[in-house]
């Protein structure tokens, strides 16, 4: 056992924009290499919708969308951890487990759910209806569950097992709901534990751990576009707290960024596209929320924002997703600067973003590229290379992966 770790022993993967960057497909790709013994989620809950695409034995595409479970599900040797920083909807979690079990995926001895994670209750779902109208929340009870946690009136998963029928009735607001809830608890019980021990022992024995962030850095409760944010910390700095491991465990951070920008819900969005462009891109790229099905708001790549998130989030490497989708445009605007807003010393980030005018540089489009035989940077079309160079120069992060489609083989490692 050692406390000295290698730089590469962990990798923290976070969305570098407003979520939906393609974290699921990147983490599935990384987990499939067999390099990572653990994939651990540290924040959020079923507001996330991480999509993983694969092929069945007859080469037909299958899409899995996981909301709680880490995106390492498809590699049977990868252990999966749901951290204490998450909020769990037990009914949805069990359905996720059972649906995947029907598809032949086993969770025995590989799924660990933190007994310290807080639980989303019917009252939280009800209270989130208002947030849905006001902020465009996903309506999954996330904000109210975190609010109760902070107010010390929430309930941790491990404590649910000790409640009496009367206490459960009060909590669920309905006595008839109790037997079904107890059944749910019993089904989940084999996976519940204090994950601190599981992960810390694994870490100290040299296992490689991938921390999977949900949402995107711009949705972080402390550093995002408040109040148009989620209710948890999304930044890599929260990963150790959200699974209960030493802060020394976070060293290397991979940011996932779309080649353009999208967001769902309300809030400032400086590079939001004109309706005609966003409609064309949305239809072409299928830009609808994986959790809610809502059409995503679409915008051009915003480098002032992405570079700020790289600096603030300690991102030294990027995976660029959906590059193929931009092929429908003859030229591609990229925001390289903001004008029109005098920043005062007391101005908040949100207020600033609400007032800025993006300054664009026009990049040549690359059309409908056949990426099948492209494996290196130099084989990429020159227009794409220039796009990548611009990102690397402004963000001071290396683009390590380029994804050009949802399947595992549609990833180019640069």
Please provide the distance, in angstroms rounded to a whole number, between the alpha carbons at the two ends of the chain.
34
Please report whether residue 138 would count as binding ligand IMP according to CB under 6 A: yes
Considering only 48, 86, 188, 404, the residue that binds ligand IMP (CB under 6 A) is 48
Active site residue 50: yes
Please report whether residue 143 would count as binding ligand IMP according to CB under 6 A: yes
Considering only 75, 137, 223, 271, the residue that binds ligand IMP (CB under 6 A) is 137
Stretch that binds ligand IMP, among 96-104, 130-138, 152-160, 404-412 (CB under 6 A): 130-138
Neighbours of 153 (CB within 10 A): 8
**Distance (Å, rounded) from C-alpha 140 to C-alpha 261?**
24
Q: Which parts of 211-240 interact with ligand IMP (CB under 6 A)? A: 214-215, 219, 228, 230-231
β-strand 411-413 against 398-403: which pairing, if any? antiparallel
Residue 51, SS3?
Answer: strand
What residue is closest to ligand IMP based on CB?
A: 265
| Closer Cβ to ligand IMP, 178 or 229, answer by number | 229
Please report whether residue 136 would count as binding ligand IMP according to CB under 6 A: yes
CB 42 within 8 A of CB 242: yes
Stretch that binds ligand IMP, among 41-49, 181-189, 253-261, 346-354 (CB under 6 A): 41-49
CB 47 within 8 A of CB 143: no
Strand-by-strand arrangement of the 10-15 sheet = 192-193, 111-114, 79-82, 38-41, 209-216, 10-15, 253-258, 317-321, 398-403, 411-413
Distance of closest approach, residue 145 Cβ to ligand IMP, in angstroms? 10
Q: Tell which residue, 97, 35, 111, has the closest CA to residue 67.
A: 97
Question: What separation in angstroms does the CA of 20 have from each of 24, 93, 143, 169, 261?
Answer: 9, 20, 19, 37, 9
Please report whether residue 265 would count as binding ligand IMP according to CB under 6 A: yes
Facing residues of 61 across strands? 55
Residue tagged active-site, from 50, 64, 68, 118: 50
Considering only 264, 306, 319, 402, the residue that binds ligand IMP (CB under 6 A) is 264
| Closer Cβ to ligand IMP, 115 or 321, answer by number | 321
CB 215 within 8 A of CB 143: no
| Closer Cβ to ligand IMP, 110 or 140, answer by number | 140
Which residues are identified as catalytic? 20, 50
Residues that bind ligand IMP (CB under 6 A): 19-20, 47-49, 131, 135-138, 140, 142-143, 214-215, 219, 228, 230-231, 264-265
């Amino acid at each position: 056992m050692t406390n000295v770790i290698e730089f590469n022993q962990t990798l923290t993967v976070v969305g570098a924009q407003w979520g939906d960057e393609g974290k699921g497909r990147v983490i599935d790709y990384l987990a499939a290499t067999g390099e990572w013994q653990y994939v651990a989620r540290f924040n959020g809950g079923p507001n996330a919708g991480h999509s993983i695409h694969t092929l069945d034995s007859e080469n037909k595409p299958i899409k899995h969308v996981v909301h709680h479970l880490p995106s390492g599900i498809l590699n049977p040797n990868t252990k999966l951890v749901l951290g204490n920083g998450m909020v769990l909807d037990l009914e949805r979690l069990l359905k996720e487990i059972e649906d995947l079990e029907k598809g032949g995926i086993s969770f025995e001895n590989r799924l660990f759910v933190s007994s310290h994670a807080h639980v989303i209750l019917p009252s939280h779902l009800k209270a989130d209806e208002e947030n849905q109208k006001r902020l465009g929340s996903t309506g999954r009870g996330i904000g109210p569950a975190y609010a109760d946690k902070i107010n010390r009136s929430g309930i941790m998963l491990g404590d649910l097992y000790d409640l009496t029928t009367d206490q459960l009735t009060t909590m669920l607001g309905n006595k008839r709901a109790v037997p079904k809830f107890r059944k749910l608890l019993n089904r989940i019980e084999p996976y519940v534990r204090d994950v601190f021990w599981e992960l810390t022992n694994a870490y100290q024995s040299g296992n490689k751990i991938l921390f999977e962030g949900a949402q995107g850095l711009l949705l972080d409760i402390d550093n995002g576009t408040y109040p148009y944010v989620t209710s948890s910390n999304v930044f890599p700095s929260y990963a150790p707290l959200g699974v209960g491991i030493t802060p020394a465990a976070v060293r290397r951070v991979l940011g996932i960024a779309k080649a353009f920008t999208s967001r769902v819900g309300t809030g400032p969005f400086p590079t939001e596209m004109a309706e005609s462009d966003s409609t064309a891109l949305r239809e072409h790229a299928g830009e609808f929320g994986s959790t809610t099905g809502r059409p995503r708001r679409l915008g051009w790549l915003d480098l002032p924002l992405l570079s700020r998130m790289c600096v603030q989030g300690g991102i030294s490497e990027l995976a660029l997703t959906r590059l193929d989708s931009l092929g429908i445009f003859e030229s591609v605007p990229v925001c390289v600067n903001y004008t029109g807003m005098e920043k005062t010393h007391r101005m908040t980030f949100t207020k600033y973003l609400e007032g800025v005018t993006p300054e664009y540089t026009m990049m040549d489009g690359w059309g409908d590229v056949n990426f099948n035989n492209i494996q290196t940077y130099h084989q990429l079309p020159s227009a794409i290379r220039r796009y990548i160079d611009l990102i690397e120069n402004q963000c001071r992060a290396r683009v390590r992966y380029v994804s050009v489609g949802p399947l595992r083989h549609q990833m180019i490692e640069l």
